[in-house]
Chain A
Amino acid sequence: MARVAREMVEKAGVDIDHLVELLVKNAAAELTTYYYYTILRVNLIGMDGEGIKEIAEVARVEDRNHFEALVPRIYELGGKLPDDMKTFHDASACPPASLPADPTNVTSMLNVLVEAERCAVRGYTYICNMTAGKDHRTYDLALAILNEEIEHESWFSEFLGEGPSGHFMRRGETSPFVSKFLR
């Protein structure tokens, strides 16, 4: 635990137990989403499915990166991950991104993907609002993750015909915003 760092956050007026619980819940969401996206990705097949497989893969890998980036901050603030994986799964800040009944229906697959990203966008926006100007390190981390979640949402939204994402796919490396926390 980073004792003084924790004290600074508490003195700034952040309910640190609440914050740590939210970070654990969002770490659970990231790791479980990584798992569920693995299943979604392997089922994205055929003429339509192949078209979004790569984008789902990038989101999958970046969600795992988000988990990796969140864990150190949880422990710095005096928190911990649950010992039991089932407990961790059920504590997720977002519902399971389960395979839809008809995996060949690409619209159904996209709806699962976009709803998972929207849940994440809501969660990190809340954490940013909670820590802005008070807990600089958590804010910086949550903002970096938020940037990537917003891009994921816009990619899937574009495929659903809701409007252009406004940007290109990744060019090579993943996690352009979060990678600084992974070094």
Chain B
Amino acid sequence: MKQAVILAAGEGQRLRPFTATKPKVMLTIAGKPILQYVVESLARRGIRNIVLVVGYRRQQIFDSVGSGEELGVEITYVTQEKQLGTAHALAQAKAKVDKEFLVLAGDNLIDADTIACLEGLTPDAMLVKRVDNPLRYGVVTLAESTVKDITEKPKEAASNIVNTGIYAFTKKIFDFIESELDIPDVLNKMIAQGHQVRAKKIDSTWLDVAYPWDILSLNSIVLPQVPASLGGIIETGASLKGLVSVGKDTVIRSNCYISGPVVIGTGCEIGPNACILPATSIGNNVVISPFTEIKNSVIGNDVSLGPGCFIQDSVIDRGSVIEGQFTAFSRQAEVKIDDEHHSVSVGAMLGEGCQIGSGVVAQSGVVVGNHSQIQALKIISGRLPDRSLVI
């Protein structure tokens, strides 16, 4: 199989505020959008003909992966104007696909070994994986290596084998997509009509990002795989340990202590006397002022952090400007997403373009909407909508 269809049209409502201006597949993990990992894994397996189904905020995808040339692939774009479901998305690609093709989700972290698992299978086939928390996925019932049924997000799980959303199909699949909006429904219909759908269990990497804090766990899983590299200028007295990758034109000033795995982008100014601890990703054009400590966090492009900040288990999206003495520490916290309560150990989740005054303290689990402004010395908690003003 030489062709893959990647579904990348979705918004990712539950990942707000991070998906207000970018699609889910453009969330950055260890310095790269999730989609790029999928594309790179395909390229590594020699699959270079890629059809990308895009929709929500697709310009961000065009700007990032473009024609695919820099990643060594040829990308053809098709648009799903309304994000109605995965089968509907796939149907948009009908005119562009070969006789046989792979289908993958652009918002899952998929490695090359996982894709290799599909290569020996005859379509129609899918990859499944044993997970600890099957209820948020499609639970798959198997008979030997044949799929009997897929139940989406069941109340009770019959097994802990779930659908990875990675498939090998032939063009025949399009005959079965009628009113069905999601691929599992189409597969259930095919199975009901006597078609065989094969399944293979995988042990290799397949990770899903569903909630804002998943960004942190994925980040810490991917970071150790990023090779160390030193671009830019490392001033005398800076100490870099473990896997640290520094982009070009970045300056690490004296007495910084950076303990990998850490990825720092291009054109950043770090320190002097800043401390960056595992597992942290820092975007491009970021300023980190003296005496700031960052631990297990993801910092977006164009962010500026003032002096003396303490940031732990936090995500700070692009372009946020934070004055000195900002504190975001991590404790077990209740976070509410879509009426669901989650108990997680997390710091602050800051949307893009926020302006945070000096001495602000973020309580664990706070989610701050995009372009919010928080005045100095405030204590913030809970969930703040976009463009909040805290005075």
**Do A and B associate with each other?**
no
Chain B residues packing against A (C-beta within 8 Å): none
Chain A residues packing against B (C-beta within 8 Å): none
